[in-house]
Each structure stands twice: as structure tokens, then as C-alpha cells.
Structure 1
Amino acid sequence: MSTTRLDRRFAKLKAEGRPAFVTFTTAGDPDFDGSLEILKGLPAAGADVIELGMPFTDPMADGPVIQASSQRALKAGATTKRTLELVRQFRAGDDETPIVLMGYYNPIYHMGVEKFLAAARAAGVDGLIVVDLPPEEDDELCVPALNAGLNFIRLATPTTDDKRLPAVLANTSGFVYYVSITGITGAAAPESAKVAGAVQRIKRHTSLPVAVGFGIRTPEQAAAIARAADGAVIGSAIVGAIAAELDADRKLKAGAAGRVLAFVRELAQGVHNARQAAAE
């Protein structure tokens, strides 16, 4: 693969000596226009990498907050094609911030792998996280994605031992996503000491950056994780902030995007100031 936006972004952050702030929102939540407004504002609010969830009816790895966001998006007409249209419209004003689609294989399979990868690449997608395809199924999507020029980011978990790690990392690119807890998204807060040890263990097997997610809700938690890793991934807290801004008709209240992005900015400051604070 040639150098990707993810490669360039993590290299830039490493040179600057700071961790990445990786945000997650669900495409089309609560509707296309509201989702796009927030998406467009994320880089200015401090997002270094954007994960965009592909709405799905059975998101088995996600907790209630993200599950609800998928349902809202689907009710508002979200589809795989409209998710890619969100990326395309975002790219019209931002050609630098990496976007990673995160989700499940079913919608991709339904669209057709070759068609999906071509459309994703054309829209400006940089990478994929597909949580229900193990390394044993790499020929199904991972290898074709790499051949199409897209990074394929793999999840490692607290139960991924040293024997399993080489298989998990074999075709991984862009970065490694370490799931800091066992269970679903947003279920519990990670323990920074355990995370630090796990990150170091993974780094003995790969030179890729390691970003940590699941359970990070506050700037303080984000800072603690960012001191131990190459990046902190925050999803449920941001999706929850969006849900808190919905009116009785499940539409964003006036000024909601600005308030959500202000919260994102607080999280970003926690991540970006983590190592500076630790050094003082």
C-alpha cells in the first residue's frame, strides 16, 4: 500500500509528541443533515481521526447508547450508500482528516465487496474496522480492502494473548484498536495501569500505533488513557451527547451541534494535553 491519510496523521502526531484523539459518531444520527453538521465540525473541535459508524440492525459489540443511535439513523433513512455520501460531502471541505468506517460485515456483503470498496475509496474513506470478521476470514474483505488502498484496522482485546496476537496483526494497517474492557461499548471505565501494560505488550509485536477505546467518558479518563497509548478513542460519550440534544420529535435542538462540538473540544483537550501535564 502507498502512504495513507492515517499513516500521515499518526506520523505527524508522533513527530509532535502527542497522542491522537479519535472520535466516533454514527452516520446519519439523528438524521443526515444533523450528522453531517457535526461530522464537519469534528476536526476543528480537535478530532485527529474520525470513526464513522455504519448503522446496522444488530450491532452486537455496541452498548445501548450506540445501538440507539443506529436505530435513530436507520429510521431516518440511513443506508450504506448514504453513509458514503456523508463522507463524500465531508471530503469536499476536508482532504486531510482520516475517516475510518466502523461496523459489521452484513451491509458490506449486501452491497457487494468489490462495489463497496470502490465506492468507499471514491468517497474518501481511509480505512475499515469490521468487528465480526476474524483474521481467518481475511480473504473475504481484509485483503481486498488492502489491495484497494484502504487500511484495515483490527481489534485486540484483554483476552487476545501473545499466541493470538500475530494472527490478529498479520494484515492490520493504519493502527491497532485496543478494546480496553471486556464487553460492549460504554459498559465500564478502563483502568489506565492495565491499559498501559496491554499497550506495551501489543507494541512488542508491531510497530503500528495503538489507540485505545471503549469506556472513556471524560476528559480526565481520556488523558489517563492518552498517556499510555498512541491515541484515545471516544464514542459512546459523544453519541450520548448527541442523544441529549434531541427534541420530542428526535430532531437536534437549535444550536445542538455547537454544544456537542464544545463537549468534543473538552475531550480533545484532555487527550492532547495528557503528556504535557504528565511531564510538568
Structure 2
Amino acid sequence: MTRIDARFAALKAEGKKAFVAYIMAGDPDIETSLAVMKGMPAAGVDVIELGMPFTDPMADGPTIQLAGQRALDGGQTLQKTLDMVAEFRKTDDVTPIVMMGYYNPIYNRGSEKFVADALKAGVDGLIVVDLPPEEDAELCIPAKNAGLNFIRLATPTTDDKRLPKVLQNTSGFVYYVSVTGITGSQAAQAGDVGPEVARIKASTDLPVVVGFGISTPEAARTIAGVADGCVVGSAIVKLVGEGKSPAEVLARVAELAAGAHSA
């Protein structure tokens, strides 16, 4: 059982929904992003998604694109992102960490080496948005065999024919993308999301969390109310981009987490 599995089991036993928070590693520098990351558990974050900066983040809107560029301009690398996880693990061996990003940096490092290094650093799961199920042999299966959860995205266009393929080697949880398009582009609607979550849950025992388009505590509450949890990314990353201090960012994270936990 991974930390992700354990966290969702504990939340289910408590009758609570998960609050998943995303930040970009190294944005605007390692010190700031690590301070935010270290403060997240106390702010109510159940699972941390740590973005791997990449030059061509095709699923991300301007807010996260700019965050990745700031991180890269500051010298952030895949190794430094893994080092952030290792540093976090010195004081927290419980909170699940999911690394989220694109395959190119991992391919450049070598999949086997990346999986070994990620496990050593203390990573629990991976979301690699540009690796479809047809490419599972590249990273998904080696990661699963090594003990890392490989979390797949399902979207409004994932129909009943495609869904079994998407779920095939998924573990940890299913990430349902609430809107068509890029991150931060439009608001998620519980009325649209609820039936889709139910459709996915009819085909899997995995928790289903919903991301994209959630930017307020109220939205976190309503979306988490029709799923097993919610993900907030752009709304947090935007505050970092505005130059807010880690304390100010974490205060907003706590408000968002409280919204999700009240669902």
C-alpha cells in the first residue's frame, strides 16, 4: 500500500473528501516553493501534486505555463525537483507526493533511472499527461512494478469505449478533468461533473478526484461533494506568480482545503 492508498483509505474511514493541491517545483525559486510545499500538510492538504517544469506544457493554461517558465529561468531541473521531495521527506514521511508533468524530461533521464530515483526521493505517484495507455510499457508498468502509483486522467471526452483502456493500469486514484481545454480556462460545474464521476466509479474501485476549473472554497466544496476529492492548481500558482509570501499562499490553501473538507 502506497502513501496515496493509505491516505484515501483513512479519508474514506473518516467520511472526508480529499483536498489535493498543486504547485510548480522551483517557482519562483526552490526556497519559496519548498516553503509552500512544507506548509501544505498543516494547511489541510491531503495529497501534494508537484509540477515538473517543462518548456511545452500542452495541457496547461497561461498561469501554470508562466510558473514553469519562471522555474526554468531560475535553474530548476528534474534533479532539483527530486531533491525537493527528498528534503520534504526529512520532516514528513506521511503526506503523499505525486509528481505531475510531461514525459520528455523523464525520457531524457531514462525511465528506469527516473523510477528508481523517484522512489529513493520519496515520490508516491506519477501523472504524466502526454503518455496515453498505448504507451504503458514506457513508464506506467515499470513504475507500478516498482511500487509507484500511476495516475491517469479521464476527461469529458473519455467515452465508455475508451474508459476501460484508461483505467487498465491506473492506480492510486483517477484524476477526472472537469472541463475540456487547458488548466485555469473555465469553471467546473458540479452538475456536469457528478454524472461523469458516477460513470467512472461504476467501472473502478479507485477514488475519483476532480481537477481543472476549481478556484474558490465554495467550488472546492461543491465539486468535492460529487467526487472523492478535488484538485486546485492554478488558483494557488497564481498567488505565487503575484509574489505572495509562502504564508499568504498557505493561508489561501487553508481556505480552499476547508472548503473541500466541508463537502
Which residue of structure 2 aligns with residue 244 of structure 1? 242
**Equivalent residue letter for 2:21:** T
1:271 to 2:260 alignment: yes
Correspondence for 1:218 among 195, 201, 216: 216
Residues 69-218 of structure 1 mapped to structure 2, 5 A cutoff = 69-218=67-216
TM-score, normalised to structure 1's length?
0.93
Among all aligned residue pairs of Structure 1 and Structure 2, give the percentage whose two residues are the same amino acid: 67
Q: Deviations over 1:162-202 (max 9, x none)?
A: 11000000000000000000000000001101101000000
1:58 to 2:56 alignment: yes
The Cα shift of 1:241 comes to: 1.0
Residues 3-42 of structure 1 mapped to structure 2, 5 A cutoff = 3-42=1-40
Give the distance between the partners of 1:202 and 1:14, measured in 2 at CA: 18
The Cα shift of 1:245 comes to: 1.8
Uncovered stretches (5+) of structure 2, i.e. residues with no partner: none
Correspondence for 2:43 among 42, 45, 59: 45
Q: What stretches of structure 1 move > 2 A for 4+ residues in a row?
A: none
**Equivalent residue letter for 1:257:** P
Which residue of structure 2 aligns with residue 250 of structure 1? none
Question: Per the alignment, in what secondary structure is the counterpart of residue 44 of structure 1?
Answer: helix
Q: Deviations over 1:114-138 (max 9, x none)?
A: 1111000000000000000000000
**Equivalent residue letter for 2:119:** R
**Equivalent residue letter for 1:6:** I
Uncovered stretches (5+) of structure 1, i.e. residues with no partner: 247-255, 275-280
Q: Deviations over 1:91-127 (max 9, x none)?
A: 0000000000000000000001111110000000000
The Cα shift of 1:148 comes to: 1.1
The Cα shift of 1:72 comes to: 0.3
**Equivalent residue letter for 2:185:** A
Give the distance between the partners of 1:268 and 1:70, measured in 2 at CA: 24
The Cα shift of 1:231 comes to: 0.8
TM-score, normalised to structure 2's length?
0.99
Give the distance between the partners of 1:35 and 1:50, measured in 2 at CA: 12
**Equivalent residue letter for 1:270:** G
1:229 to 2:227 alignment: yes
Give the distance between the partners of 1:129 and 1:268, measured in 2 at CA: 21
Give the distance between the partners of 2:131 and 2:36, measured in 1 at CA: 29
Give the distance between the partners of 2:103 and 2:251, measured in 1 at CA: 33
Which residue of structure 1 aligns with residue 248 of structure 2? 259
**Equivalent residue letter for 2:258:** Q
Q: What do you get for the CA RMSD once the two structures are aligned?
A: 0.6
Q: Deviations over 1:259-280 (max 9, x none)?
A: 1000000001100012xxxxxx
The Cα shift of 1:244 comes to: 1.3
Give the distance between the partners of 1:139 and 1:75, measured in 2 at CA: 33
The Cα shift of 1:84 comes to: 0.1
Which residue of structure 2 aligns with residue 252 of structure 1? none
Question: Per the alignment, in what secondary structure is the counterpart of residue 176 of structure 2?
Answer: strand
